[in-house]
């Protein structure tokens, strides 16, 4: 495979890291938060040469056939797709970057961008490759690390409210709740009037609960970092208020249980009227239907905002990035650009079911007509992505732990919030 | 004392299992009752795994779990077998696992014997190194090991997958402890008969190590067969994937897991392991009948 | 270790030494190539502030001395996971050893269907952890779980095993003992074969009861194997991770989080320096435990 002398040098350096303890070379002082600026614009001609692509799971399985259209347009290019299991894909990418043994292009989970870009593994997006304004804002922001964009959004997912429509009607709700007060009443009515065990299920802390809680905070005007992503701004009255609100569902017994659910328990419970509602992403539609909930029995709605404004949700998904160790960068970017074209994004949705990151793709076809999909389309207009900093996963774990402490009453809410802030500050942004 | 003749007798009679024949005891009935009750507790999750692999996705993860499938489906297996190039992945897996197993059994017994029964300078140091390596958590050396493997030009090769694990401290330690339990008299007798040191190892000790080698073989094969992260990171193209890596391709998604596929994959992966266990387990019970010693 | 021959030129002794090194060469060669370097590199990393983002420029990091170690020892979460890990070892090792030994001795005594028994007791080792976790979560459920249902028969109101900060850890220990028993059983079965049948029969003729034979023949003669089992099991419990990962994710409120769990998290956060330091602290604990076990099971020198 591609073994360059630079990787050899790098590895020798690493193996000799023990001697580092004695010599102490030291870090260069960081010039500050400004990134290196975008890459040079690429040429117009067709792509050439071999383009190695890694893509995870189903995306990887489908992409091989899908890029045939690209190869027809670029007869001198050969796209080789390797499917990588999602499980441990992060580790595989991290190791590949460390050893300089990367493909040319890879699908990268949106929350990994900060880490891999900071590692120097990714190329800045070339100037003028795509138009930032074509993408959902939250999705684009996931590519921006320290002011520089390191890739292009490929597909997105966002979280919306799933609820049992039939039971909601029984409880007197013909429409989804529009604000926080209504959401509380909605869940209470589902529980009391429709006789459910829990009106809603909100994750009571532990891994990934930030994805459920932060949308409430964002909807309330709170933020995790300041605008340029250099400082944490978690400790705010808005964050505290949002966590209080979140916790109140559990305190009042509307949301439960307080343990983590077993795999499949949420879907089974949704089917058996244990839970009346929950917040999750597009993949859950298939899961609840597998569990026996028919399409007439449930509905989706955008997250309610605090007052009249729409709620802000979490946006995740996958970005496409080109590696700095690639020896075919121009052609690699051409493939990325092609995959981000609105029609190609639509075709990819039709083939794989991943929601397009390009707004224009939602204006026609099934994405424009299907009422369920339209809920996601609507929600995507109001989304935030977590800050694309290398330390995000660690900060998120602290937030998860503090949510659990607050929800279970092991720590007062305001203390939990200021603890999140102090932990995040001590971890730093890693930029 | 004894002569080499009895040593070779020991080899011949090694296959007779103790307790059988000589006395004809079957063991007390209550022992069967206790062990039988324990057996039920041990196999239930395994049976659930097998039964659930033929349930449709919605039923697999229903809570509380169902026991017998309400609907039997082969969808999960079909999804795996039609989407994956099984022969390739199976071959990669089996080659890597066999190489690792053979290497560990061979090198483990060699060094294990030296550490157990031979006097040599540096013995304490070598044994110390073995124990030391045994205790280092694998996660800590993972990244440097991968960088090293890359620079040896071994990424995307099968040797890259097995060479780093060919001689594990576990095997050395296991073999040393087992061989320590073998009577010294066997070795003395062979030396008296003029056998060379290496000949003693190959002709006297190795034949008596059946139980330990079978044990090591089973445990090493299992470990290598189930190894996931290393082959995934070393393989750069799908044709170098091992079975567990390939089976994980579609069952675990970015946000959701398809448990039906996952359990079907687990059943597929476990079959060779059980086969190896069945093939080797009888050697575990090779008693050492040392008639004539003491 | 054996010092039966004299220190002076002794042809047998020299032959032994030559043979020993010939036998040691393959292992040592592979050790030097694939283990020594990575171990030294990781040890070096533990004295620096290296993060995953630095892996392409491993020299451009700062030497921080023992700072990672000091930071860990002062971290309340690390202190908590150390205590948890200690509990895993103290509860898990004796339980697993005793159960595995009992099963091995039992299986060694029976002659009918022994193959089926051996495979059966080994099955948990090869069963997918996902299937194991589903079944065990069902067993341990607060309402409708099998354990609590059985407790209810005798009038006991069973607790929420995995949701309790005090009961979750012992529950995981029982599950881990169940899961790892098969490996140890196989090892003990092999060890039992080194005990010559004649010795046992002779003792029986002398009128020794089953317990006495076990106490005075089986246990002493099994000592090397027991030592191996204890060391391996001790390392296993000091590196406790998988059960907590699938059953409780380290919760509730970190009650089941182990040192390895903590280390694994730090690795996935990319804090390689800190994670390496945590690994070497754990390594020191393993060394200490192993020394104790060597003393306890008395390596005959």
pLDDT tens digits for range A337-369: 999 999 999 999 998 889 999 999 999 888 998
The band of B293, judged by pLDDT with boundaries at 50, 70 and 90, is: very low
Contact: B254, A86; criterion CB under 8 Å: yes
Contact: C19, B197; criterion CB under 8 Å: yes
Mean pLDDT of B154-173: 93
- For residue C121, pLDDT over 70 is answered with yes
Tokens of C263: 């280390």
Summarised one tens digit per residue, pLDDT across range A46-100 is 999 999 999 998 889 899 999 999 999 999 999 999 999 998 899 999 999 988 8
Asked if A32 has any chain B CB less than 8 Å from its own CB, the reply is no
Summarised one tens digit per residue, pLDDT across range A129-148 is 999 999 999 999 999 998 89
Instruction: Measure Cα distances from C9 to B198, C20, C98 in Å.
Output: 20, 17, 47
Tokens of B77: 């297996």
- For residue C1, pLDDT over 60 is answered with no
Mean pLDDT of B225-240: 92
Q: How far is CA C8 from the centre of its chain?
A: 42
- Which pLDDT belongs to residue C244? 92
Instruction: Identify which of C51, C253, C269 has the shortest CB distance to residue A410.
Output: C253
Are B109 and B167 contacting, i.e. CB atoms less than 8 angstroms apart?
A: no
Which of chain B's residues have a Cβ under 8 Å away from the Cβ of A208? none
Which of chain C's residues have a Cβ under 8 Å away from the Cβ of B176? 224
- For residue C144, pLDDT over 80 is answered with no
- Which pLDDT belongs to residue B21? 39
Judged on CB neighbours under 10 Å (0-12, 13-18, 19+), B271 is exposed
- For residue A18, pLDDT over 50 is answered with no
- For residue B20, pLDDT over 50 is answered with no
Give the distance from residue C196's alpha carbon to the nearest chain B alpha carbon, in angstroms.
6
- Which pLDDT belongs to residue A206? 82
Mean pLDDT of C228-251: 90
Asked if B211 has any chain C CB less than 8 Å from its own CB, the reply is yes
Summarised one tens digit per residue, pLDDT across range B249-288 is 888 888 888 888 889 999 999 999 999 999 888 888 776 5
Summarised one tens digit per residue, pLDDT across range C198-208 is 777 788 788 88
Contact: C283, B135; criterion CB under 8 Å: yes
- Which pLDDT belongs to residue B106? 94
Are A382 and A311 contacting, i.e. CB atoms less than 8 angstroms apart?
A: yes
Contact: B62, A8; criterion CB under 8 Å: no
How far is it, in rounded angstroms, from Cα A260 to Cα C163? 9
Summarised one tens digit per residue, pLDDT across range B116-139 is 999 999 999 999 999 888 888 888
The three-class DSSP label of residue A79 is: strand
Portion 111-130 of A in contact with B at CB < 8 A: none
- Tell me which chain C residue has its CA closest to the CA of residue A121: C56
- Which pLDDT belongs to residue B59? 86
- Which pLDDT belongs to residue A262? 83
**Interior angle at CA C193, CA C192 and CA C196, nearest 5:** 105
Q: Which chains touch A (3 or more CB pairs under 8 A)?
A: B, C
Summarised one tens digit per residue, pLDDT across range A161-179 is 999 999 999 999 999 999 9
Mean pLDDT of B34-44: 90
Instruction: Identify which of C61, C130, C265 has the shortest CB distance to residue A27.
Output: C61
The band of A259, judged by pLDDT with boundaries at 50, 70 and 90, is: confident
Asked if A31 has any chain C CB less than 8 Å from its own CB, the reply is no
Tokens of B265: 């994959």
Q: Which chains touch B (3 or more CB pairs under 8 A)?
A: A, C
- Which pLDDT belongs to residue B3? 36
Contact: B26, C110; criterion CB under 8 Å: yes
- Tell me which chain B residue has its CA closest to the CA of residue A16: B144
Mean pLDDT of A242-260: 92
Cross-sheet strand order for the sheet of A277-280:
A277-280, A160-164, A298-301
- For residue B248, pLDDT over 70 is answered with yes
Mean pLDDT of B21-36: 73
Instruction: Measure Cα distances from A203 to A206, A408, C56 in Å.
Output: 8, 12, 38
Nearest of A224, A227, A203, A223 to residue A213 by alpha carbon: A203
**N-term to C-term CA, chain A:** 31
How far is it, in rounded angstroms, from Cα B279 to Cα C111? 18
Contact: C20, B124; criterion CB under 8 Å: no
Helix (H) or strand (E) holding A317: strand A313-322
- What global pTM score does this model have? 0.86
Q: Which of C164, C252, C277 to mutate to test the interface with A (most CBs of A within 10 A)?
A: C252
Contact: A85, B245; criterion CB under 8 Å: yes
Mean pLDDT of B229-244: 92
The band of A27, judged by pLDDT with boundaries at 50, 70 and 90, is: low
Give the distance from residue B139's alpha carbon to the nearest chain A alpha carbon, in angstroms.
11
- Which pLDDT belongs to residue C112? 84
- Which pLDDT belongs to residue B138? 82
**N-term to C-term CA, chain B:** 7
Instruction: Identify which of A121, A263, A405 has the shortest CB distance to residue C253.
Output: A405
Which of chain B's residues have a Cβ under 8 Å away from the Cβ of A3? 150-151, 153
- Which pLDDT belongs to residue B25? 61
Portion 164-223 of A in contact with B at CB < 8 A: none
How far is it, in rounded angstroms, from Cα B185 to Cα B175? 18
- Which pLDDT belongs to residue A258? 84
- Tell me which chain B residue has its CA closest to the CA of residue C112: B26
Instruction: Identify which of C22, C112, C120 has the shortest CB distance to residue B42.
Output: C120
The band of C259, judged by pLDDT with boundaries at 50, 70 and 90, is: very high
């Amino acid at each position: 495979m591609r073994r360059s002398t630079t990787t050899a040098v790098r590895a020798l350096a690493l193996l000799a890291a023990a001697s580092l303890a004695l010599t102490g070379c030291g870090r260069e002082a960081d010039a500050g938060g400004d990134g290196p600026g975008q890459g040079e614009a690429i040429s117009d001609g067709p792509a050439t040469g071999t383009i190695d692509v890694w893509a995870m799971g189903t995306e990887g399985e489908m992409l091989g056939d899908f890029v045939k259209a690209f190869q027809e347009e670029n007869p001198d290019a050969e796209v080789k797709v390797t499917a990588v299991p999602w499980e441990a894909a992060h580790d595989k990418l991290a190791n590949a970057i460390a050893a300089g043994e990367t493909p040319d292009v890879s699908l990268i989970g949106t929350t990994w961008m900060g880490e891999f870009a900071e590692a120097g593994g990714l190329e800045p997006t070339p100037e003028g490759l795509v138009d930032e304004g074509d993408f959902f804002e939250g999705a684009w922001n996931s590519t921006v690390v320290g002011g520089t964009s390191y890739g292009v959004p490929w597909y997105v997912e966002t979280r919306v409210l799933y609820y049992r429509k039939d039971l909601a009607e029984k409880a007197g709700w013909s429409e989804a709740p529009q604000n926080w007060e209504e959401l509380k009443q909605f869940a209470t009515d589902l529980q009391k009037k429709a006789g459910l065990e829990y009106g809603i299920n909100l994750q009571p802390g532990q891994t990934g609960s930030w994805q459920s809680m932060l949308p409430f905070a964002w909807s309330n005007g709170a933020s995790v970092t300041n605008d340029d992503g250099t400082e944490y701004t978690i400790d705010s009255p808005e964050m505290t208020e949002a966590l209080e609100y979140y916790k109140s569902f559990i305190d009042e017994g509307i949301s439960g249980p307080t343990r983590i659910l077993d795999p499949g328990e949420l879907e089974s419970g949704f089917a058996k009227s244990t839970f009346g509602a929950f917040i999750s992403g597009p993949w859950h539609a298939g899961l609840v239907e597998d569990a026996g909930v028919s399409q007439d029995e449930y509905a989706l709605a955008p997250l309610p905002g605090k007052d009249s404004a729409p709620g802000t949700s979490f946006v995740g998904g996958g970005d496409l990035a080109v590696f700095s160790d690639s020896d075919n960068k121009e052609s690699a970017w051409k493939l990325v650009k092609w995959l981000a074209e609105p029609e190609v994004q639509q075709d990819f949705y039709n083939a794989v079911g991943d929601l397009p990151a390009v707004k224009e793709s939602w204006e026609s076809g099934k994405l424009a007509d299907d009422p369920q999909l339209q809920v996601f389309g609507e929600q995507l207009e109001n989304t935030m992505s977590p800050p694309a900093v290398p330390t995000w996963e660690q900060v998120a774990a602290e937030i998860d732990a503090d949510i659990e402490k607050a929800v279970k009453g092991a720590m007062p809410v305001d203390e939990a919030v200021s603890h999140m802030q102090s932990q995040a500050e001590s971890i730093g942004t890693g930029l | 004392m004894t002569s080499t003749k009895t040593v070779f007798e020991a080899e011949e009679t090694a296959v007779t299992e103790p307790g059988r024949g000589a006395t004809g005891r079957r063991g007390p009935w209550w022992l069967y009752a206790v062990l039988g009750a324990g057996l039920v507790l041990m196999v239930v999750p395994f049976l659930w795994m097998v039964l659930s692999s033929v349930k449709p996705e919605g039923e697999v993860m229903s809570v509380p779990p169902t026991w017998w499938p309400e609907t039997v489906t082969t969808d999960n297996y079909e999804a795996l077998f039609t989407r994956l190039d099984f022969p390739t992945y199976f071959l990669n897996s089996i080659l890597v696992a066999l190489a690792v197993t053979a290497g560990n059994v061979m090198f483990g017994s060699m060094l294990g014997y030296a550490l157990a029964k031979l006097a040599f300078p540096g013995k304490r140091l070598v044994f110390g190194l073995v124990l030391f390596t045994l205790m280092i958590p694998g996660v800590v050396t993972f990244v440097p090991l991968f960088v090293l493997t890359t620079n040896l030009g071994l990424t995307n090769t099968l040797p890259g997958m097995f060479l780093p694990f060919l001689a594990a401290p576990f095997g050395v330690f296991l073999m040393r402890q087992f061989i320590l339990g073998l009577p010294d008299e066997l070795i003395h007798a062979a030396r008296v008969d003029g056998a060379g040191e290496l000949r003693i190892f190959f002709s006297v000790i190795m034949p008596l190590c059946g139980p330990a080698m079978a044990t090591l073989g089973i445990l090493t094969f299992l470990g290598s067969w189930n190894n996931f992260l290393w082959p995934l990171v070393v393989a750069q193209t799908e044709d170098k994937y091992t079975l567990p890596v390939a089976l994980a391709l579609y069952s675990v998604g970015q946000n959701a897991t398809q448990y039906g596929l996952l359990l079907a994959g687990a059943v597929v992966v476990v079959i060779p392991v059980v086969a190896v266990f069945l093939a080797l387990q009888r050697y575990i019970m090779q008693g050492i009948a040392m008639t004539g010693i003491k | 270790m054996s010092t039966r021959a004299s220190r002076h030129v002794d042809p047998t002794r020299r032959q032994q030494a030559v043979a020993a090194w010939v036998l040691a060469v393959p292992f040592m060669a592979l050790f030097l190539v694939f283990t020594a370097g990575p171990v030294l590199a990781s040890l070096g990393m533990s004295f620096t502030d290296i993060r995953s983002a630095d892996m392409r420029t491993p020299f451009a990091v700062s030497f921080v001395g023992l700072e990672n170690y000091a930071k860990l020892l002062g971290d309340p979460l690390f202190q908590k996971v150390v205590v948890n890990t200690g509990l895993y070892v103290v509860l898990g090792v004796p339980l697993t050893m005793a159960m595995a030994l009992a099963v091995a001795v039992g299986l060694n005594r029976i002659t009918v269907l022994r193959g089926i028994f051996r495979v059966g007791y080994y099955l948990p080792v090869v069963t997918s952890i996902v299937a194991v976790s589903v079944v065990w979560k069902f067993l341990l459920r607060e309402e409708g779980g099998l354990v609590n249902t059985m407790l209810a028969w005798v009038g006991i109101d069973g607790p929420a095993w995995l949701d309790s900060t005090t009961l979750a850890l012992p529950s995981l220990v029982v599950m881990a003992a169940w899961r790892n028993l098969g490996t140890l059983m196989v090892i003990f079965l092999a060890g039992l074969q080194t005990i010559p049948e004649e010795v046992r029969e002779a003792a029986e003729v002398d009128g020794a009861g089953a317990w006495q034979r076990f106490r005075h023949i089986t246990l002493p003669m099994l000592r090397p194997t027991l030592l191996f089992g204890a060391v391996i099991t001790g390392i296993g419990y000091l590196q406790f991770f998988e059960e907590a990962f699938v059953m409780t994710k380290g919760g509730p409120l970190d009650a089941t989080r182990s040192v390895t769990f903590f280390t694994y998290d730090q690795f996935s956060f990319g804090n390689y320096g800190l994670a390496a330091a945590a690994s070497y602290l754990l390594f020191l604990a393993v060394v200490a435990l192993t020394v104790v076990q060597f003393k306890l099971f008395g390596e005959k020198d």
